[in-house]
Amino acid sequence: MNYCENCETTCRVRFCSRKCNITFQNKNRDTSFSKDLKPANCVKCNIDLTIKKQQSTSSAQCQSCKLAKIQQRLEKTCLDCRKQFNALSTCAKFCQACRKLRAENAGRKSAAIQALTRRSWSEIELGKLCLQHFSTVTFNDPIFPNDPPTETHWDADILLHDHQVAVLWNGPWHYKKLRSRHSVEQVQRRDKIKLARIIASGWRPFVIQDEIGSKDIAKVQLAFNDLLKFIATS
C-alpha cells in the first residue's frame, strides 16, 4: 500500500485522485523560464520595453498601446438603436437596453408559440362554451401592447370582444414547481405584468385559478357560470 504524494492518504498508486496529481504537479512545476526578460520595442509607438523571453518581438506592445486597442474594440455602435456604447466584449453587437428588449421579445414570442401548442383541456372546453354563448371570441390573441412599445404584445387565453373581457385559465404551472428548470416566481411575475397590460388596454381580466389541472367538465361548467356572473355584475 502506497501513500499519496500530495495529501499522504493511503492509495495504490502515486496519487489518490486526479486533483491531488494536478495539485502536486503545479506546486513542483519549474516556472523560472517565464521570469527571463529580453529588450524589445513597441510595434505601435516604438518605445523601449522588456518582454518575456519566450514572447515574439514582432508583436510586442507597451501597456498604453494595449489599453488603447482594447478601448477601440469596446467602443461599438448598437445595430438596433445606432447609439454608441462601451461593450464588455469584442463580439457585442447591441447595447444593454437593446439586449434586454431583444430578450423580452424572444421570451414573449416563445410564450406565444407555447400558448398555441399547450392549451389545456379545461381551457379548450371553456372556449367551446364561450363560442356557443358569445358572438366574437378569439383565443391567444396578442392584442395588449407592451410598455414601452415592442414588436410583440401580450395575449390572453380567451378574449370576449363583445364585453372586452380577457379570460386567463391559470393551471398548476402558475402556482407550483413542476420541472427542475421551472421558476414559479418568474411565471407569476409575468402574470402580474400581463394583468397590468390588459387593464391598461381597457379590458377586464377574469382569472381562473386551477391548481390541480384535472379534466373535470363540472369544474369547467362552474367556471363558465362564474364568468357569466362576472360579466353581468361588472
String of DSSP letters for 66-120: HHHHHHHHHEEE-TTT--EEE-SSTT--S-HHHHHHHHHHHHHHHHHHHHHH---
For residue 189, the enclosing domain spans 99-233
Inside any domain, residue 27: no
Residue 15 falls inside a structural domain: no
Q: Residues 138, 216: one domain? A: yes
CATH of the domain at 116: 3.40.960.10
Where would I find the H helices in the chain? 18-27, 63-74, 96-117, 121-133, 184-200, 217-233
Count CA within 13 A, CB hemisphere, residue 48: 2
Is residue 157 very low, low, confident or very high in pLDDT (cuts 50, 70, 90)? Answer: very high
Half-sphere exposure of 47 (CA within 13 A, CB side): 9
Q: Are residues 149 and 189 in the same domain?
A: yes
Do 107 and 66 share a domain, yes or no? no
Angstrom distance (rounded) from CA 185 to CA 183: 5
Q: Quick one: 177 and 72 in the same domain?
A: no
| 54 closest CA partner among 40, 65, 66, 67 | 40
According to DSSP, residue 144 is labeled B
Q: Which of the four pLDDT bands, split at 50, 70 and 90, describes residue 9?
A: confident
Which pLDDT band, with edges at 50, 70 and 90, does 82 fall under? Answer: confident
- How many domains, in total, are found in the chain? 2
pTM for the full predicted model = 0.52
Question: Do 120 and 85 belong together in one domain?
Answer: no
**Confidence grade of residue 37 (pLDDT, cut at 50, 70, 90):** confident
Cα 165 → chain centroid: 30
* Residue 196: pLDDT band with limits 50, 70, 90: very high
Question: How far apart (Å, rounded) are the C-alpha atoms in residues 136 and 160?
Answer: 6
More confident residue, 118 or 149: 149
Segment 104-117 mean pLDDT: 60
In the block, which residue shows the cell 414547481? 177
* pLDDT, position 127: 94
